[in-house]
């Protein structure tokens, strides 16, 4: 789609005004490099060393200390980790058999057994209700242990995505003997895992120091020490990179990352992730009308927004899956068509001059350019005759409104499962039995049930492709963009790409 210069410059002025960044242009000072230490400016601290709650950004740190039952390769294929083999024992997704490695030790020397798995995914759920851990793995009814390296997991209801979730957040293995001996509070202060690094120093909101785990069961990491400085301000992180204080940082806007990448000593890397941004709709007011819902979608110029806000790195999406994800559907789209959007509004028969402004809800600074994105979308809707009112909320308010069913208009939402399994997108966001779903209508259950019951991945992918084509064509959600990661590092570093955008620190090396 061609964009007029007037369109691009006009929208860029609205969205990027005031977005200047004063970066250091002089040659950075010489520094003595300890090749065994990696210095990182990280944009957020972890929620805690008891990994029952985490975001994808935090999980890069947690995965240094804790192993997950399964891993993902660069193409989002599941690979063995602590779990070496798995199989369903029924056709409904309620009994899962797992086999474990027998040569893994935790950082304190304790040998891993199936008892640690049972503690991590069943006993801790009872100890830590109202956590993400409990929200996902509370579906387990019991775990049988035929021997020390085998487990049979029984689910209360079909959980066909359980295998994928063993490589997602918050699936981490903890040592049950140590945890029960020291208690939760002490464990948070001195955590023990079986991952490639062990914690040696932690100053909340300031600094994390990790050292290579001498008893790690896989190949040793390339760095013997990670110094992770918690620096939430992106300008401060940029200055630290250009001045040579740190080797690596991430979570920059595309604009800032491009600017930093122009520095001779630095490289900027961009790659799509498994995260998406979308507008969730509600079955209220004018949004009850299908023509109105579809008009809102056709009025959004996604390529223009991607160029203006993200320098083209955010891929427009039309179902909840992007490039490289299992359920990516390259043969389906609802392309920008404002003339057709106006036609749909006329067909609705609604007099929009007499309507109250449509509420649209967003955070500020939580998702990439979230407020700027919503401002631009609101302008595009205004251009077809729908007035809007932008409501800026904290993430806590978003959650409270969601749980209390208080939303009365579109909500900008970010969603970032790690594995790309389609059941963790619409299977959560459109499932009427889960609080994440804002749209509620009687026809959803009939259409989504076959997808939720698909036990094998190929069948699940096809079932969710069919469902997502249908639900987007009904105007029940408006997928917007596939997220991307922006990592800036010294050009002496080799940072392997990961399809989900989660930084794997054990694989980073100097070249």
On whether the CB atoms of residues 68 and 166 are closer than 8 A, the answer is: yes
Between helix 254-261 and helix 234-242 the angle, nearest 10°, is: 10
DSSP for 158-190, please give it.
--TTHHHHTTSTT-----HHHHHHHHHHHHHHS
Between helix 5-16 and helix 370-383 the angle, nearest 10°, is: 140
The CA R_g of the chain, rounded to the nearest whole Å, is 24
The pTM assigned to this predicted structure is 0.90
Q: What pLDDT, on a 0 to 100 scale, did the predictor assign at position 499?
A: 87
**39 exposed, middle or buried (CB, 10 Å; 0-12, 13-18, 19+)?**
buried
Nearest to 507 by CA among 72, 41, 70: 72
The 3-state secondary structure of 7-52, one letter per residue:
HHHHHHHHHHCCCCCCCCCCCCCCCCCCCCEEEEEECCCCCCCCCC
Percent of the chain with pLDDT over 90: 86
Q: What pLDDT, on a 0 to 100 scale, did the predictor assign at position 420?
A: 94
Q: What is the pLDDT of residues 204-231, one digit of tens each?
A: 999 999 999 999 999 999 999 999 999 9
What span, in angstroms and rounded, lies between the C-alpha atoms of 487 and 258?
10
What span, in angstroms and rounded, lies between the C-alpha atoms of 401 and 396?
9
Mean pLDDT of 60-69: 97
Considering the domain delimited by 8-15+274-484, tell me its CATH architecture: Roll (3.10)
List the helix and strand counts (H, then E) for the chain: 17, 19
Q: What pLDDT, on a 0 to 100 scale, did the predictor assign at position 287?
A: 97
Asked whether residue 375 carries a pLDDT value surpassing 60, the answer given is: yes
Region of residue 270 (left: phi > 0; alpha: psi -120 to 50; beta: else): beta
Chain mean pLDDT for the chain: 92
What span, in angstroms and rounded, lies between the C-alpha atoms of 267 and 290?
46
- Burial code of 48-65, b = ≥16 C-beta within 10 A, e = fewer? bbbbbbbbbbbbbbbbbb
Q: What is the pLDDT of residues 457-476, one digit of tens each?
A: 999 999 999 999 999 999 99
Q: What is the pLDDT of residues 333-371, one digit of tens each?
A: 999 999 999 999 999 999 999 999 999 999 998 899 999
Q: pLDDT category, 31, cuts 50, 70, 90?
A: low
Percent of the chain with pLDDT over 70: 94
* Bridge partners for 152 per DSSP: 97, 144
Q: Could you give the 3-state DSSP secondary structure of residue 404?
A: coil
On whether the CB atoms of residues 455 and 93 are closer than 8 A, the answer is: yes
Helix (H) or strand (E) holding 379: helix 370-383
Q: What is the pLDDT of residues 302-334, one digit of tens each?
A: 999 999 999 999 999 999 999 999 999 999 999
Judged by average pLDDT, the poorest of 175-184, 382-391, 433-442 is 433-442
Q: What is the pLDDT of residues 75-109, one digit of tens each?
A: 999 999 999 999 999 999 999 999 999 999 999 99
* Bridge partners for 79 per DSSP: 71
On whether the CB atoms of residues 53 and 129 are closer than 8 A, the answer is: no
Q: How do 95-100 and 150-155 pair as beta strands?
A: antiparallel
Q: What would the two tokens of residue 68 be? A: 């997950």
Non-local CB neighbours of 299 within 8 Å, separated by 6+ positions: 336, 338, 341, 380, 381, 383, 384, 386
Q: What pLDDT, on a 0 to 100 scale, did the predictor assign at position 32?
A: 54
Q: What is the pLDDT of residues 254-275, one digit of tens each?
A: 999 999 999 999 999 999 999 9
Q: Please, what is the Cα angle at 131 between 127 and 134, to 5 degrees? A: 65
Q: pLDDT category, 14, cuts 50, 70, 90?
A: very low
Q: What is the pLDDT of residues 402-457, one digit of tens each?
A: 989 999 999 999 999 999 999 999 999 999 888 789 999 999 999 999 999 999 99
């Amino acid at each position: 789609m061609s964009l007029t210069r007037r369109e691009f410059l006009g929208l860029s002025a609205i969205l990027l005004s005031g977005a200047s960044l004063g970066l250091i242009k002089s040659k950075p000072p010489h520094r003595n490099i300890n090749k065994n230490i990696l210095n990182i400016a990280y944009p957020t601290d972890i929620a805690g060393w008891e990994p029952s709650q985490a975001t994808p950004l935090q999980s890069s740190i947690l995965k240094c200390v804790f192993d997950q039952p399964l891993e993902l390769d660069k193409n989002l294929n599941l690979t063995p980790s602590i779990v070496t083999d798995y199989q369903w024992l029924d056709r409904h997704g309620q009994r899962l058999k797992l086999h474990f490695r027998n040569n893994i030790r935790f950082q304190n020397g304790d040998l891993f057994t199936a008892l640690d798995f049972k503690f991590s995914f069943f006993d801790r759920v009872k100890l830590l209700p109202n956590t993400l851990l409990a929200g996902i793995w509370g579906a387990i009814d019991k775990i049988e242990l035929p021997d020390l390296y085998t487990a049979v997991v029984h689910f209360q209801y079909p959980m066909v995505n359980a295998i994928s979730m063993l490589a997602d957040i918050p699936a981490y293995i903890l040592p049950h003997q140590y945890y029960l001996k020291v208690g939760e509070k002490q464990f948070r202060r001195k955590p023990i895992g079986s991952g490639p690094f062990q914690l040696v120093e932690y100053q909340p909101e300031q600094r994390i120091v990790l050292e290579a785990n001498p008893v790690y069961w896989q190949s040793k990491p390339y760095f013997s020490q990670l110094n992770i400085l918690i620096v939430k301000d992106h300008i401060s992180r940029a200055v630290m990179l250009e001045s040579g204080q740190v080797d690596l940082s991430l979570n920059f806007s595309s604009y800032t990352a491009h600017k930093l990448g122009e520095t001779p000593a630095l490289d900027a890397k961009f790659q799509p992730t498994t995260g998406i941004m979308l507008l969730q709709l509600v079955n209220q007011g004018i949004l009850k009308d299908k023509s109105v819902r579809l008009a809102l979608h056709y009025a959004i110029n996604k390529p223009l927004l991607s160029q203006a806000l993200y320098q083209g790195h955010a891929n427009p999406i039309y179902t909840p899956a992007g490039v490289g994800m299992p359920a990516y559907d390259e043969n389906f789209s609802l392309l920008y068509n404002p003339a057709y959007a106006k036609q749909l509004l006329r067909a609705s028969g609604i007099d929009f001059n007499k309507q109250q402004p449509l509420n649209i809800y967003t955070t500020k600074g939580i998702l990439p350019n979230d407020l700027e994105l919503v401002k631009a979308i609101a302008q595009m809707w205004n251009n077809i005759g729908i007035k809007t009112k932008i409501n800026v909320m904290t993430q806590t308010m978003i959650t409270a409104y969601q749980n209390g069913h208080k939303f009365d208009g579109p909500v900008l939402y970010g969603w970032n499962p790690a594995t790309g399994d389609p059941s963790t997108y619409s299977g959560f966001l459109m499932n009427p039995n889960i609080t994440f779903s804002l749209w509620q209508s009687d026809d959803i259950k009939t259409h989504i049930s076959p997808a939720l019951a698909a036990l094998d991945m190929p069948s699940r992918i096809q079932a969710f492709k069919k469902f997502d084509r249908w639900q987007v064509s009904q105007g029940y959600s408006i997928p917007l963009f596939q997220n991307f990661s922006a990592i800036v590092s010294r050009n002496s570093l080799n940072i392997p790409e990961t399809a989900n955008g989660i930084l794997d620190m054990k694989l980073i090396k100097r070249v």
